[in-house]
Every structure is written in structure tokens, then in C-alpha cells.
Structure 1
Amino acid sequence: MGFEANSQNGNVQSAPIEWSFLHPLKKSWQDLGAKGSVQEALIATGEMPDPFYGMNELKFGWFEEHVWEFKSIVFLTDEQLSKEYLELELPSVDTYAKIYFNGTLILETANAFIPHRAQIKEFAKSGMNEIQVFITPPVIYHEKTYKEMGYQLPAPNDVHKNAIAPLTRKPQYQFGWDWSLRLNTIGFNKVAQIHAYDNNRIINSTINTASIEDDGAEMEMMVEFAVKKDDTLVWTSNHFGKQEIVIKNGVGRRTSQLINPLFWWPRGHGKQNLYNEEWIFTKENEFIDGKSFQFGVKTSELIMEEDEWGTSYYFKINGRKLFCKGADYIPQDIFPARVKDKDIEALVETMAESNFNMVRVWGGGYYPDEIFFETCDRLGIMVWEDFMFACAMYPGDDKFIANITEEFNYQVPRIAAHASVVQFNGNNEVEVAWGNWGFQIKYGLFGKSAKEIEASYDRIFKEVAPNIVKEYTSIPYIHTSPLSNWGKTDFYNHGSQHYWGVWHGKDPIEDFGKKIGRFNAEYGFQSFPEFNTIKTFSEPSDWDLKSDVMKHHQKSYVGNNMILKHAKNLYGEPDNFEEFIYFSQLTQSKAVSMAIAGHRIDFPRCGGTLVWQLNDCWQVSSWSSVDYFGNWKALQYEMKKDYEDVSVVAKYNSLDDIDFYLVSDVVDTFMCEIQCEVYDLFGKKKATIELSQQVNGQGSQQLCMKTVKKDLQKMNAHLVFSWKDNTGKNHSRTYDNVKLKREKAPESSVKLSFDSAGVRKVGVLTIETTKFLKDFWISSDKFGVKFDYNFQSLLPGTHQIVVEFGDKPELSDFKMMWL
């Protein structure tokens, strides 16, 4: 291992650590690399199969039955040892570890969400040095914990007989979820390093807009150093000037004014103004450390107050009330170490392309890396950030509180430094679970144990978390989501809502657009990924809903029958498995689109809509709109239309009774010229309706179209809406009756051609059809192919679709389906 300088003056010399591990069964040492898990390492050697394929997940349980030993040999020179400090840093050990340096125990870890550091100079020597790490799986570490506690904490998603997920500060979804396999990684999620340096080095920082008054913004700043000592330094900023500050226990703070700031705005509301900032720290003119980054100036307010409907829940950014639209983000892989920056950027870019202005980071995964927040800053995507607690009850003893306090003190300032972050949320569904999921009866939690659990909740989410958020930032904090359950009518009038009345209840699909919370932070409907994705984990013999493999890749207890029930109601009995996949995506798209329309029309009563869920962590049937490989489902294409700043949406009073609305997120009132062309199903234009509609700022307006409604009910009309938004940009959208039944056009009526010449990674797909094609779906056998629109009904004639791709597809790679 060699050292390379990574600081602005070469003060800090750092090098990554490469690991090997002892196979507990073979008793042989094997290479791990700089990061990753033992599971990934044995998959790479071929000893273990792909856990995503078939039912191979079941072969990975034995990893949790052994303590795993890791080691690394590092070479240190006299020059490195001459530095004042020699530090071992492990950014994410997963999870319970004892770390030895040359035989001396230097660290014990119990949290995968925080970096662990130790000064090792006194144990180091010139030449070869050995680092040993022993990682104990959570089920072994907590083998006797519940017996000592006297009761078990509810953890319904943990599928192990010893369900200890709530005791362990690591990603909760790895214990099993209703869209995730169980696979608890063991290893290092990020690259460990040794740092050799004099003076000190920066390990964390934040900048926060405390207030905006008149022509200035008051900015609060904090910096944290690795060595926890008192000092006096000069802090120089290219925007805030030079100031001498006192460092207390490694932490320094300052407050400065930024005159005439340019605000950071969410997408659709203004520019994402970001300042390029540089901090330099010196002592008696000697450089200590520095950092460069971007920051934005913005204020965020969460407004919860009594009003004419109940209790509000909406956001004000820079004093402006706005409607939030987006989805819930989960981890992108069961193996955190193999998620690349480019994958994270691509998914955030999908959000922006689909007209999101908000994403919620769900609380059962992990806190995202900097690249996630930086991309959200750049693209104007507001971030609702959960703390990593979900769907279980958590302990509140002093040891656990000390652990999460360290976690919060690291994550809050790091995350809050980003302009995109507008809310911290204590947990996902913990309070609503305790109040409504029958934990008390199922786990025998009454009297003293129940009071302890309730006290633990208050201590974590109503004391520790809000106090730490308040210490570092003015960003709003709420203790849980949802604040209201979905079972009773009045629940929809108060606070945040997770609506699961269709999927987990017996509500009809149209209720997605009728049962509307004040802020809809979760709701959704499942679908299968496209056939090309299914082929990556199954054999032809598995392509049946009743096969063991398909059931294994469906983790919801409601299961595939719920998808089939609603798909059959809308589209009829599928002829084969591939058609079922198609129907499932159409059903999901229609269900969620109904909800989004209802939510947008209901503004300002409704403050926002976040679809469950954006993405997947493996190949699975789930609520995602983008599958594991990044393929857009029908829902993602529909959301792109639903979330346009100015759009025409459909309100379903019933499946046959539709009203159309013009909705706008634009702040200013403007006149919108709308055209609705009515075609029969042979491509003949029956009528053209011209509407001149005043669109009030951030408002909605029903479009008067009684004749069109009748045509749709008779199932003999195809509508093409076109309009210009406030900037003059052209938009269009098509509608027909969701239950339209007619003789399916033969394949001979459709001709495809593909031209990719002239522009790199972009082509044009031309569809010529002599028949009406309802909900036309084009897909590709090549991964990484995206279309500018899809799942749209096509009239007889010629249509063109822009295609983006990685590996160039051939014409034969494209597959078509239609109704």
C-alpha cells in the first residue's frame, strides 16, 4: 500500500486499504478488494451463485452463522511515521466489528451509517503492519439480547427467527422487505484508508441559511476536524471573508452575511443558483486544511396548521407555497458497495426528466452519498430525508441512544449542507405501526414493556433527533410519516398520508383519485418488470405466476393475485405470461395516474404527491416505476406527462365517467389555448374543440367537454390534447377509454423501421400502422434503451419515437405489444 496526497497542500497523505478474508468453512484466505462484502467476493469467485437468480437467495443464509475475519498488510515508511498523526478511517463497516492494529484492539463498531476512526501512530512501526477485523453478524451479536430485555421488539419485515433488525444500525431492508430479498452484507461498504498528516484535517462540515432579511442572507457554518482538540484558526472564505475562530473539541462555527443572494429554487420555480465556495484554514499563516464545494441559499418551511379542511401539510420554499411531486427512493442494490456514482446520477436525472421536483429518501435503507445530493442540488429536486428507521419499534436504552446520537451528529450536518434538502423525517411508519398493526397482541407487549417502547419512541424521535437537527440547521423536522392512517374519512384531512386502501384494503382502483390526504407521501400499485428483466432471473419453465420462482420474486403478502385481479378488471384475461406483464404495467400506470390527477386537482388543500416507489434493489415484482436495470415501466412514462408543470389530467369519477382538468404549477396566471382533436378508431377526425382557458397561478380548471365524455363512454373516441405552456412550449397528450375493447390489430398492420445514423447514441424508430393500436408498448432486448414516449395509443398513420441507447439495438431487438 502506497500513499498519495489528497489535500490542497499535500498535508494529508492517504491510501486505500485492500482486504482479504478467512473463509470460515474452507479455512483459506481469499481476496475481497478495497470494499464490498464476503457475499460479493464469493459470488465473484463462482463459489456462490447470483442471489438474484431463481431462488438462490435461500442459499445465502449460512453467511450469518459465522464470525468473519479480515486482514490487511500495510507498509508504512519512516516519513509517514514522522507525521504528527496517523489515522485509520473506516467509512462504513458492516456492522459489528472489532478492529486490531498490530494486535492491539483500537476500535469496536456498531453502526454502518457512520465513519469510524482511530489514531494508530503509537501502535505503528516502520515496514509491515497488520490490520485485523472480526465482524460478527447481527443475529449472532444479538443472540441473547431479547432474553435480557424480557420482550421482543416488533420487526415484521425481518424474516429471520431471531428478528433483531431494530437493534442493529445498518440498512433495515437487508433483513427482508416486501420488495427485497434478505441478504445481510458482511464487509466494508466504502473504502477504508490510512491518513498521515500534521496539524489536522476536515472530516465534516455544513452551511445553512438561517434567515433571509431585507437584502441579506444570514448563513451559519460549521466545520469538524478529525483531531478533537481546542485551537484558534483563521477561517478564510471566498464569499464570507476572513475570520479568526475558536475550535472547541475539534468543532468550529461562524455566522456571516451574504448580501443580495441569488436563491436556489426547486425545478419549475426558478434557477438552481449555486455558489462555488472555498474554505481555507490556517494557523499563524501555516495551512491546516481546506475544502471546495457548492452551496445554495434557500429557506424551507413545513406548514402544519388548522384550516378549513383539517390540518395542513405543505412546504414553502423561499416563502412560496408550492406543490410537491415525485416518488420515494429506496436503495439501488442489495449490495451498497457496488452502486456507482453514475448509477445514482442517472436515477436523479430520470427524476428531473420526468418532471419531479421532490424525492423522499425512504427510512429503511441508507443515507445517500454526496453525489445524490449534489445531483439533486444541480437539477432542482427537493429532498425529503428520512432517518433510517422503518416499520419496527426501536430500543431507547442509553447505549442505543449514544449510538444514534453519533449517527445523527454525523449525518445531519452533512446532508443539511445541501440546498435541495427541505425536510428531515424521524422515521417511516413507526408510530402508525404501533397504533394500528396489532403489535401489542402479536408480541405480547402490555404494561411495562409497552410503556418502555413508547418512551423509547419519544426519546429518539421527539427529543434526540429534533434537538440535533435544530443544532445544525433550520430545515424542518417531523417525527414520523405518516401522521394519519388511511382507514377513516377524517384521517385524510390531517397531515401526511400513506394511502394503501387499494393494495392492502378492498378499495376500488378509482379511489386512488378520491381518497386524498393533505400530503400523500406514499401510495402505489405493483407491476412486473419487463420481460427482458424477467429473463435475467428465470428459465422459460418459470414463466408462470404460480411457479416457485415467480412467487419467490414477489415479496408482498398480497401478492400477484392483487395485480391479476385489477388487471383482469381493466384489460381482461391475459393470453399468456408476457401479456400479463404488459397488463400489469398498464394497470399500475392507470392506478397511479388516477391518484396524481386527484392530488394535483386538489391543490391547495393537497400539498404534494410522492409515488411509492421509484426504483428496485433487485429484479422483483414491486411498486417501482423504474426496474433494477433502469428500464422505465409504463408508470414512469405516464408520470412524465402527469407531472408536467402545465398538463391535462383525467379525473375518474368511475372507469366510464371522466372529467378533464388543466392543472398548472406555474405561479403566474396566464391564458392557455387548448385544442382537443377527437378521432374515431379508424383514424378519422370527428371534431376539433378549441378552448381558451385562463389558468390561475398554481391552480386547476375543469375543461367543459360533455360531448367528448359521451364519446369516451361509447368507446369510440381517441382524444389528442395539445396546448402551449406559459413559456410557449408545445405539449400533447392522448386519452381513450381505459376499458376499450375491440378486435386487436394484426401484426401485419404494423411496420417498424429504425434509423440511428448521424447522431451518437440516439436513433429514431418509425411506426407505420394501418390500424388503431391501443396502449402501444415498444421495448428492446438490449438493456439501457429509453424512448421519449411509450405506452401510448396510436392512430392509423406514421409515428416516430426518439430512442436513446447504450449498445446500439438492431431492428430485430425491438418488441411490440398493443391492445
Structure 2
Amino acid sequence: MILISVWGCGIDSSVSVIELNKNWNFKSSTDTQWNTASVPGTVHTDLITLGKIEDPYYRLNEHNLQWIDKENWEYQSNFKLSKNDLDKQHIELEFLGLDTYSKIYLNDSLLLQTDNMFRTYTKDVKSLLKIGDNKLHILFDSPIKKGIKKYDALPYKIPVSDNDLSKIGKVEDEKQVSIFTRKAGYHFGWDWGPRLVTSGIWKPIKLKSWNHHKIEDLFIQQNSIDEKAMLTAKIEVDADLENKKTKVEIFVNQELIKIVDTQIANGKNNLEIPFEIENPKLWWPNGMGAQVLYDVEVKITAGSYIDTKSHKIGLRTIELVREPDAVGSSFYFKVNGHPVFMKGANYIPQDVFLTRAKKENYIHILSSAKEANMNMLRVWGGGIYENDEFYELCDEMGLLVWQDFMFACAMFPGDSSFLDNVKQEAIDNVKRLRNHTSIALWCGNNEILSAWENWGWKNKVIEEQSKEVADTIWKAYDDIFHNVLPEVVNMYDNNRAYWPSSPGSDFGEKESFEKGDAHYWKVWWGKEPFDNYNTAVPRFMSEYGFQSFPELTTVEKYTLPEDHDVYSDVMKSHQRSSIGNETIEEYMLRHYKKPKDFASFLYVSQLLQAHGIKVGIEAHRRNRDRCMGSLYWQINDCWPVASWSSIDYYGKWKALHYTAKKSFQNILISYENKKDTINVFVVSDSLKSVPALLNIRLLDFDGNQIKEWKKQLTIDENQSKKYLTILKNDFLKETPHNNLVLHTELLINERILSENTLYLSPYKSLDFPDPNLSYSITQEKDHFKILLKTQKIAKDVFLSSDSNANFSDNYFDMLPNTEKRIHIKKSDLETLESFKNTFKVMTLIDSYKRINHDNNIATH
């Protein structure tokens, strides 16, 4: 495909682009037969398409495919060029993503060698091209064989977490070699992912040709925003010209706002052109205002040639505020001058095979985040610097991005070639992403400082090797995270903050709950109770979480019926936490009655996860005078698995995601349940105060009202405040605890602004009656509508079907004598009858008893 833009009569576009995505073949280096390949793609996905391997995600197939990463692989393509194509002054090949060790031959001449899947490689190729057929041939070396050579060559051992699943990978002597290769760490396995170490051309290859001049890079730096937005267009221009007189034009939303006459010389040119936007409209995070984006285009005309480049930008200020206070030191983000509580989750790549994640997958995950009232996602450091469309969607949806550099849970080499490679990787990606309004923070790594200081790595190296080895390993850490990366950020994006390690309290200072950010894993790994979230409150919680299983319709996609036991080989293989299924069951029996069957176990695991994280989210938000961020681990999966995700691999929202949507809403009612009192808080992330009626009712499970409290109040803006204290002795002496629910609503003109419930005994002690739940289903245009009615309390109502869509609400409670309307999008192939045939409803009592729910006749 050739993309050429032409401006005006007699003006030629300087640059043309051909994407080389056709006529590709591949083979193992030990084979003689070439096979059709897809580019962009991976070896694994090409083998799947050809039927040469089974689905790696199905049952135990992953374990039989570990031979693939021990092979060397070859890709080749032929492309035709005309005399006109070759007449351009400069012709370059641009490789946007090669995974990972490659030798590139153009017309049988060695062009380039690569060793970093995160980098862009560009090479001038005019002298090697010819009219007619041209051949591009790429040899990919096995990342495992390469890693073993580097591992064996190093005279000491570098600590790596057990997430490098070298045993599953059948690596020689189980050597953990992932750290030696600048490649996505999760490909080597993680405690939520498979080990499938890919190779291939994972991003486009482009043939770029140009005459006269080419805009290599454009950065729109925001200097200040007031009545005017003061900006600078920083332009990198390559030139090969005789006429040096040049005109630079800047357009904002297609309106010409600045013209500059200047000169550019042969070679590299750096231009800085200030410009202004009058009466700027601000960009706001999700829930705080609109996401206004300006289209800024730079056009450079010299002689009879032009080139253009543009970016969509939002105008906003953002700063990481770290100031001494009564607790220690603050850690929060201020956007457009206002402190913002960050609500969100950690994000991992959406598939092990990266090219499978299409735009519709990005839209689904990110719109799900937006719909769940999130305003921040953390792009975690063991995956990839995400594709451009990820950040474009975050810009559009108001989702700020905490951006890790790609280092996680391991120490790394520190030789000069490795450091140089990392520096160029950082430059490539900071320059690529810095125009995105959504980028809020650059973070050096995930959990490496904690591992060195708190997990015993440093002491183990000293004990088993030597103090000198420990110093060498630490110097590499210091060089990468305290020198190379912050220097790149300072040079190329100095208006944004850099944070060296998550969690951490400062440069080289380990995690503290008094300053910096925290990862709290004593719930789950430490087996501590969910209630500990109420007291373990840091300045910013950037990781915490609890696992659940996907729902049965998802599990059925990767299992057979004989696998339907959480301790079967297949279910254990699709659980990568070393304490996984046992820990889910242990916590489950603390809180719930034992589920009666496999499907019920899956369902209750999701209720358990949602309950635990709800405790954490509400504790963080109630204590926003101390804590200003709550990012749970994790929003999504990269394969079908039991994990910490709130959305499973197939896009189904778990109970956690529906619960997070309620817990992250801008105005939240939250209970602080003490021994003798219940404190009722209202938390607001709104920038305006709101008058409201607080209405609290104590009900039994049959719907009888025991007591009521009402209070007129004004919800103060952007803060958490206790508005009412209820004494338990006022009502618990005469009433049993196991059939009571406290329900609170905030109302504005009789419209419910927010609501929440509190049960006064553990769930497993509650005496739930048969809810007498009934439902009817109707069809309206592109949706099915479900009307539910209950006579008595219905706890954790779960709706399921074979539909790929998600219900408008799910896993919800219904108070006695109430009804609720739910809708779900209809696919083109579904009918009312087919939907009814797979639709099911259950409540918590169904997980341990057998209850029949009436289905009224469904009508159009």
C-alpha cells in the first residue's frame, strides 16, 4: 500500500510510504519448505493458521509447544519497485518491531542486525534496491539459545523472579534467560500467563522514500495554559536540498495560525517554533470534564516540495506532587491545578500473541475502564510499550496512563552494550508517546527495588556469591533506573515526572506507607484478611489484588467436562500462581458457605474477589486525606486463566468489574464498620459541592423496615467526609444479625445519586430465604431487556448467557419487593428464542441450595 499526500498545484509530497505486508513466507531454519506467513504476526500464530500446531490455550497444549522457541526461524518477501520509486533521493526501510534477534538481508546483502523488540530500526537502502523484484529476508535466532549463551558467558548469576517459567519452557538446566533479551518479559511466563516465547515481525515494515526534506519527528510541548495556551512545536527535519529557503506553517483544527520563514540545511535540523491557542478548552480525566483534543499539524514547504506531520493533543497541566506533610510526604497527581484521586487498574498486554489484539479489543478494554469510572491505567513493566491506538483511545476517553518502562521483577545486566540498547529503546518510546495527553508518569520498573531490598535478593547474592557481585548487580540497577532512564525523560519529555521504581518511596529508597507508592500483597500472598485493607492505607496504592476464576462459559472454551474440577491438571495449568486455587478456596470458606458444584465454585470465587477489592477501594477512597490512588491488579488477561483480572480473556466482565464501576463512581457512600459503631462516609471526586438527602434504612430479608435515619447535607467537593455515626446498640440488641441489611441512598430531587449496602454478619452466617425471583425477557431493536422481580432479598444476582456481550449490570443485590431492568446488546445472529435458551439466573443461595426461579413468558 502506498500512501502519498499532495498539497496544492505544482507542489509534490516529499515523502511516500509503502507498507511491506504482502507476499511473506516463513519456515524453520532446519526446514526446506516455505509456508505462507502473515505480517505483522508471530511464528506461533502462523503455525496455528497452517494447522501445524494446536491452539496453545486449549487444555494442556502449551506444554507441547516449547520446542518452537528453541528453533531459528526465517521470513522472506518479494516486492516490486518501478523506476519512479527509485528516483527519490532517499529510500529507507523502517522496522517498527522485530521480535527479537534478527539478521536482515536485502537482495542478499546483510543490511542490519537487531536485538530489541521495543526499538524502531531505520536503514538507508537506496543503493541496494533495483527496478523490478527485490527480496527481503529476515533470520530470527532463537531467543532461548541466545539467552543461554549470554547466561553462560556471565561469571555471576543475576536474580530473576520465578515468573520466568524455565521449567515449563524445558530450558537447559532450567536457566532463567529472560533478562538478557530486550523482549516482553511475560512471554517467558508469569503468575497469570503461559510461557510462549514468540519470534516474528510483530509490527509493520515500511519502505519510505523522500526528496528534498522529511519531517522526522514533531513534538508539541505545552509550556503554560491560562487565557492562552503557550506551546512550542519542536520539529526534527532531515534535508537534502539546494534551495534553503523554507516556510513552516502551523495549523490548529485545520486553521492556519502561524507562518514562519526560515532556513534548513543539509542533514539534521532542529526547529523550535512557539505558537499560541486562544481561549484554550482544557482536557480533563474521565469523570471530571470533557476530553477536548486539538489537531495540530505542521507543514514544511521548501521549493516545490512539502511534508506534513500532525498530532492530536489535549491541553492540560499535570504534576506529581510530593511534598512533606504530617504523615510523611504526599504522592498525588494534580491535573489542571486540582488534586485528583486516581481510580483504576493495572494493564497487561491483551494476548501473548500481540498481533491478535485488534482495535476492537482495545476499544472494549478501554471503554470498559471508562464505563467503570476509571481515570488511570498503569501499563505494567513486564509487557510492552503499547501500540499507538491504545494511547489514542486513552486520550479520547480521559484515561491517564502510568507508563512503566519494560523492566519487571528481575535484576538486569549492566554492560555498556546493554545500557546503550536500553537508552535507545527509551528514546524511541518516549519520543513516540510524549505527544499523548494521557501519559501522566514515566516509571522505571516494576518491583525490582522491592525484590532487591525486601525479598532477600541482595542478601542471597552476598551469601551465595559475594559482596562484590552484589555491588556489580546494584550498579547496573543504579545505572539503568537512576541515570539512563531519567536522563532520557529529562531530555525528551521534561514536563512529566519520572519515578524510578514501583513500589518505592524515592530514588533508591524502598517502599514506605508514609511516602511514595505501595504494592500491598499481604492479602493474597500473606493470607491476611480483607479487613486489613482498612488499616494498610499508603499514600498511593499502585498494586493490590485477589484472584478469581472466569465464569463457566469461558472455562468451557478451554476445557472438557472431565476437567471441571479446580484441582484437575487442566485447571491447575490455567492457574499460574504458586498458591492459587488453594488460596481462593481458603478465603472462600472464610466468607461463604461451601459451593455445591464446579459452576458454583467459579461464581462464588468472583463474588469473593469483588468483595475483597471493594473493601480495598472504599478504604483508599475514604482515606483520601492520606491515600490518593487505588489501582488494583489487574484489569485484563492475556489468555484464558484463573487470575486477578476483572475482565476475562474473552472480554466478559467479572463480578469485580461491575463492583469497581460502583465503587469508583464520582460520589460514593462508604461504611466504616467498627466494633460498636457504623460511620457513614460520603466521598466526592466532583469539583462542585452537591446538596443531597442521606437516607439510611435497616431492613430484614423479608423487607420489613427496622429503623431509618435521614439527613440533609451538602456533599463537599473533592474530599471524603464522615456525615453520620450509627450506634449498633440502638438496634442490634433486639434483632438477630443474620437477616439484616443496612441500605443507604443519596438522593437529589428523589433521584438516586449513589447507594450502598452493608450486611451485619459474615456472608456465610446470613440466613437467606428463597427470594422468589422471577424474570421476563423482551427484545427491543438491538438489545434484549430483562425485567427481574423479587419478593425477598436476592443476594448477588448473576445473569449468564452464551452471548459475547456484557449485561448492563450483574452480580447485584436486590432488596425485598423490588424490580430491576437489565439490558444486553444483541448480536446479528441472535434471536429472542436463542437468547432465552441459554439465559440463566442464579443468586448466592443457589450456590449451596437448589432454588427454582420462575421465568415469565418472554415477549417482543
Shorter-normalised TM range: over 0.9
Where in structure 2 are the equivalents of 1:103-252 lying within 5 Å? 103-156=108-161, 157-160=163-166, 161-212=174-225, 215-224=227-236, 233-239=246-252, 241-243=258-260, 244=262, 246=264, 249=268, 251-252=270-271
Task: Decide whether the 8 Å contact of 1:364 with 1:390 is kept in 2.
Answer: yes
Residue of structure 1 equivalent to 2:849: none
Give the direction of change, closer, same or farther, for the CA distance of 1:32–1:689 in structure 2 (3 Å limit).
same
Where in structure 2 are the equivalents of 1:204-603 lying within 5 Å? 204-212=217-225, 215-224=227-236, 233-239=246-252, 241-243=258-260, 244=262, 246=264, 249=268, 251-284=270-303, 286-440=304-458, 442=460, 444-473=464-493, 474-483=495-504, 491-603=512-624
Deviation of the 1:501 alpha carbon? 0.8
Specify the SS of the correspondent of 1:237: strand
Give the direction of change, closer, same or farther, for the CA distance of 1:70–1:232 in structure 2 (3 Å limit).
farther
Deviation of the 1:229 alpha carbon? 10
C-alpha distance in 2 between matches for 1:94 and 1:232 = 42
C-alpha distance in 1 between matches for 2:328 and 2:477 = 26
Moved >6 Å (runs of 4+): 226-232, 725-729
Give the direction of change, closer, same or farther, for the CA distance of 1:356–1:84 in structure 2 (3 Å limit).
same
Give the direction of change, closer, same or farther, for the CA distance of 1:791–1:445 in structure 2 (3 Å limit).
farther
Give the direction of change, closer, same or farther, for the CA distance of 1:683–1:35 in structure 2 (3 Å limit).
same
C-alpha distance in 1 between matches for 2:613 and 2:658 = 12
Deviates more, 1:598-607 or 1:443-452: 443-452
C-alpha distance in 2 between matches for 1:235 and 1:502 = 58
Task: Decide whether the 8 Å contact of 1:174 with 1:334 is kept in 2.
Answer: yes
Give the direction of change, closer, same or farther, for the CA distance of 1:623–1:696 in structure 2 (3 Å limit).
same
Deviates more, 1:322-331 or 1:670-679: 670-679
Where in structure 2 are the equivalents of 1:28-43 lying within 5 Å? 28-43=33-48
RMSD, aligned α-carbons: 2.6
Specify the SS of the correspondent of 2:230: strand
Deviation of the 1:723 alpha carbon? 2.0
C-alpha distance in 1 between matches for 2:204 and 2:273 = 32
Task: Decide whether the 8 Å contact of 2:41 with 2:200 is kept in 1.
Answer: yes
Superimposed CA distance per residue, residues 133-191 of structure 1 (whole angstroms, 9 cap, x where no aligned partner)? 00012211132213322112222121222312122111111111010111111101112
Task: Decide whether the 8 Å contact of 1:12 with 1:201 is kept in 2.
Answer: no
Deviation of the 1:667 alpha carbon? 2.4
Deviation of the 1:234 alpha carbon? 3.1
Tell me which of 38, 43, 51 is aligned to 2:56. 51
Give the direction of change, closer, same or farther, for the CA distance of 1:813–1:199 in structure 2 (3 Å limit).
farther
Opposite residue 65 of structure 1, the aligned amino acid is K
Deviation of the 1:733 alpha carbon? 3.6
Gaps of 5+ in 1: none
Tell me which of 783, 786, 789 is aligned to 1:768. 789
Where in structure 2 are the equivalents of 1:84-103 lying within 5 Å? 84-103=89-108
Deviation of the 1:387 alpha carbon? 0.7
Aligned residues: 810
Deviation of the 1:736 alpha carbon? 3.1
Task: Decide whether the 8 Å contact of 1:23 with 1:68 is kept in 2.
Answer: yes
C-alpha distance in 2 between matches for 1:229 and 1:343 = 44
Superimposed CA distance per residue, residues 753-787 of structure 1 (whole angstroms, 9 cap, x where no aligned partner)? 21122x32x22111233443211111222222332
Deviation of the 1:577 alpha carbon? 1.3
Tell me which of 672, 680, 690 is aligned to 1:670. 690
Opposite residue 736 of structure 1, the aligned amino acid is Y
Deviation of the 1:596 alpha carbon? 0.8
Tell me which of 784, 808, 813 is aligned to 2:838. 813
Specify the SS of the correspondent of 2:626: coil
Residue of structure 1 equivalent to 2:719: 699
C-alpha distance in 1 between matches for 2:264 and 2:497 = 29
Give identity over the alignment, percent.
Answer: 33
Give the direction of change, closer, same or farther, for the CA distance of 1:727–1:606 in structure 2 (3 Å limit).
farther
State yes or no: 1:617 paired with 2:638: yes
Deviates more, 1:111-120 or 1:220-229: 220-229
C-alpha distance in 2 between matches for 1:652 and 1:138 = 53
Opposite residue 258 of structure 2, the aligned amino acid is G
Give the direction of change, closer, same or farther, for the CA distance of 1:725–1:502 in structure 2 (3 Å limit).
farther
Specify the SS of the correspondent of 1:238: strand
Tell me which of 9, 20, 27 is aligned to 1:16. 20
Provide TM-score, normalisation by structure 2: 0.89
State yes or no: 1:731 paired with 2:758: no
Opposite residue 460 of structure 1, the aligned amino acid is I
Opposite residue 721 of structure 1, the aligned amino acid is T
Give the direction of change, closer, same or farther, for the CA distance of 1:649–1:489 in structure 2 (3 Å limit).
farther
Task: Decide whether the 8 Å contact of 1:92 with 1:112 is kept in 2.
Answer: yes
Superimposed CA distance per residue, residues 197-239 of structure 1 (whole angstroms, 9 cap, x where no aligned partner)? 3234445432222334x53333233334577999774321114
Task: Decide whether the 8 Å contact of 1:17 with 1:191 is kept in 2.
Answer: yes
C-alpha distance in 1 between matches for 2:99 and 2:563 = 34
C-alpha distance in 1 between matches for 2:294 and 2:818 = 50
Deviates more, 1:724-733 or 1:514-523: 724-733
Provide TM-score, normalisation by structure 1: 0.94
Opposite residue 575 of structure 1, the aligned amino acid is K
Deviates more, 1:694-703 or 1:112-121: 694-703
Tell me which of 778, 781, 785 is aligned to 2:806. 785
Task: Decide whether the 8 Å contact of 1:677 with 1:720 is kept in 2.
Answer: yes
Deviates more, 1:656-665 or 1:45-54: 656-665
Task: Decide whether the 8 Å contact of 1:295 with 1:418 is kept in 2.
Answer: yes
Deviation of the 1:625 alpha carbon? 0.6
C-alpha distance in 1 between matches for 2:492 and 2:684 = 35
Deviation of the 1:96 alpha carbon? 0.6
Residue of structure 1 equivalent to 2:4: 5
Deviation of the 1:385 alpha carbon? 0.8
Give the direction of change, closer, same or farther, for the CA distance of 1:202–1:141 in structure 2 (3 Å limit).
farther
C-alpha distance in 2 between matches for 1:311 and 1:215 = 33
Give the direction of change, closer, same or farther, for the CA distance of 1:107–1:653 in structure 2 (3 Å limit).
farther
Give the direction of change, closer, same or farther, for the CA distance of 1:756–1:388 in structure 2 (3 Å limit).
same
Task: Decide whether the 8 Å contact of 1:344 with 1:372 is kept in 2.
Answer: yes
Task: Decide whether the 8 Å contact of 1:20 with 1:30 is kept in 2.
Answer: yes
Task: Decide whether the 8 Å contact of 2:100 with 2:116 is kept in 1.
Answer: yes
Task: Decide whether the 8 Å contact of 2:214 with 2:238 is kept in 1.
Answer: yes
Deviation of the 1:514 alpha carbon? 1.7
Specify the SS of the correspondent of 2:796: strand
Opposite residue 272 of structure 2, the aligned amino acid is R
Give the direction of change, closer, same or farther, for the CA distance of 1:515–1:425 in structure 2 (3 Å limit).
same
C-alpha distance in 2 between matches for 1:524 and 1:245 = 56
Superimposed CA distance per residue, residues 96-125 of structure 1 (whole angstroms, 9 cap, x where no aligned partner)? 100000111111111111222222111111
C-alpha distance in 1 between matches for 2:341 and 2:484 = 30
C-alpha distance in 2 between matches for 1:744 and 1:597 = 25
Tell me which of 684, 708, 717 is aligned to 2:740. 717
State yes or no: 1:637 paired with 2:637: no
Opposite residue 465 of structure 1, the aligned amino acid is L
C-alpha distance in 2 between matches for 1:278 and 1:132 = 36
